[in-house]
Amino acid sequence: MKKLFLIVMVLFSSTLFAQNVNLAPTPPMGWNSWNFFEGEVSEQILKEMADAMVNNGMKDAGYQYIVIDDYWVGGRDNKNRLFPDKKRFPNGIKPVADYVHSKGLKIGIYSDAASYTCGGQTASYGFEELDAKTFAEWGIDYLKYDYCNAPEDVETAFVRYKKMGDALKNSGRDIVYSICEWGVRKPWLWAKAAGGHLWRTTYDSRDCWIANQEESWITGGILELFDLQENIAQYSGPNGWNDPDMLMVGLFGKGKSSSWEGRFKGCSQTEYNTHFALWCMLAAPLMVNSDLRNIDPINLALLTNKHLIAIDQDPLGKQAVTIFKDDKMQILKKELSGGEYAVCVFNRSENVQTYNYDIRNDFEIWYSATIFQVWNEKTISKTSVSGTLESHGCEVFVIRKKK
């Protein structure tokens, strides 16, 4: 039955999704409260994050969303309408949304397809229509919809997600729908049919390169989550994105959930550089978790790198595919609009590696080309690329037709 259900969803998802509005033509970019603040999220923090996103140049770089994650709910009133925690959101959600909108940004919120969220807060199961209309009245632009405390089977997951998807479509407001069931039920096969604009393909990311835990089924490091993106590139594209979870860039072990209560101490700068580059090659949603008020200049420059963001946001919407991989090196190739390609040469190993690749024979790009090297912003006139990569490092090239 499960196999038949998935086949049906693959056959009909593109037709059903055509009814959806063009709300995520490129992968959403923004900030999420979860890993750094968790239960401390508040009206004041959200306003400060919005201010920081504008003032530090992230808005100009393309970041749009300020997303409230779990722990914002206070309960339901006597009309069953959700209301926020009154201490941390004394004025309600709508004034926060109005403030975020006044900055030229958009606001997101969180709920769950069960009676309770992952944090044990009141969720939306059985109240989908009411909650969607409430979110619309508040001015919400984006919903992250989790799957804690819900049945495990894929059929129930689809029904519950589609019910909220339909409710959002009928809410009277355009709301991007982020499906967060962690990839275990292969949402890339059915999430479009449920109305989703993006869907998690993994469990929660941790602020480490490799988590390597016995509990790895509920978490993963950057490399582990990246590897889970193999063989699903064909399901991602405009208005329907594979989501390998949020960016750990710049946390350095400071996040709560991302550090898993201190078990993980963060990544090296090289690993953060590669993390961001890989997510851009994957055409992944770019959701930052670090404290935007105090982000260090190096990682701010990384997160606003216009060349990598252009690769991520390319309107063709192609996810990179692997064209070579062994235990040391991996090459990713991403088709871009205008006949261009982005190529990432990635050192998976624990040791320094040298490389020398011909763009015709190794990258399978046959036209006369110029090669733009992203990190140092230099154009190479040769037909080959070579260099040295430190452990877990990468180099990114944009290959363009000669004019």
Pick from 251, 292, 300: which is nearest to 31 by CA?
A: 292
| Radius of gyration of the CA atoms of the chain, in A | 21
Query: For the CA atoms of 326, 330, 331, 332, what is the dihedral angle to 10 degrees?
Result: 120
How many angstroms separate the CA atoms of 227 and 37, rounded? 28
- CA-CA distance, 285 to 267, in Å (whole number)? 20
CA distance between the termini of the chain: 54
CA distances (Å), 29 to each of 66, 130, 190, 304, in order?
9, 27, 23, 11
Look up tokens 């309600």; give the residue. 92
- Beta bridge partner(s), residue 32: 67
In the residue annotation, 204 being an active-site residue is answered as yes
* H helix or E strand, kind and range, residue 31: strand 29-32
Reading the block at residue 370, the tokens are 């110029």
Contact by Cβ (8 Å): 74, 85 = yes
Considering the candidates 70, 131, 146, 362, report the single residue annotated as catalytic. 146
Q: Which helix (H) or strand (E) holds 379?
A: strand 378-380
Catalytic residue among 69, 70, 204, 362: 204
- H helices, E strands: number in the chain: 11, 20
CB neighbours of residue 356 within 10 Å: 9
Residue 146 annotated to the active site: yes
Question: What is the DSSP secondary structure assignment for residue 336, as one 8-state letter?
Answer: -
b/e sequence 357-383, b meaning 16+ C-beta within 10 Å: bebeebbebeeebebbbbbeeeebeee
Other Cβ atoms less than 10 A from the Cβ of 222: the count is: 28
Q: CA distances (Å), 155 to each of 48, 164, 166, 206, in order?
A: 41, 15, 16, 29
Question: How is residue 266 written in tokens?
Answer: 């963060």
Catalytic residues: 146, 204
